[in-house]
Amino acid sequence: MATMDVFQYDVPAESDFGYAQAIRSGELIHVSGQLSFDEAGEFRHADDFAAQLARTYVNMDRVLDHYGATRNQVVSQTVYVVNLRRNAATAAKGNLGYFGDHRPASTVLGVTELTMPGQVVEISFVVDTRLPA
């Protein structure tokens, strides 16, 4: 029987919207869209794509660390980008820097807006802990 482990940062948005940052079900971890918020749950770096992307990767690592997983176990991701044409090269460079030689399945979507005012990037992903770390 599969077990379920829910991960929360305990930030207001989780209760206000009613979601978990991540849920582990068996060997898979489904991670909600990560964005540029700090440890206190405050959104940071409004309208600064590169800074938001860097902070989003820090938050992705926080989720992975909670589960004892690594970037090499990420099997898919969806990247939501405001002003995709303007930010595509920075997104690609950040992705390559974050994952190195690892290549998860990826979908990049250009969107008109995201939840927080000034938010320009969000990344959701799936982790398979059966893969080598």
pLDDT computed for residue 4 by the predictor: 74
Q: Is the pLDDT of residue 1 over 60?
A: no
* Residue type present at position 130: R
Q: With cut-offs at 50, 70 and 90, classify the pLDDT of residue 3.
A: low
Average pLDDT over the chain, rounded to an integer: 95
- Could you tell me the domains of the chain? 4-128 (3.30.1330.40)
Written as six digits, the tokens of 113 are 């807006």
Q: What are phi and psi of 22, to 5 degrees?
A: -155, 155
pTM: 0.95
Q: What is the pLDDT of residues 79-128, one digit of tens each?
A: 999 999 999 999 999 999 999 999 999 999 999 999 999 999 999 999 99
Nearest to 123 by CA among 58, 56, 70, 62: 56
- Say how far apart CA 81 and CA 54 lie, in whole Å: 14
pLDDT computed for residue 40 by the predictor: 86
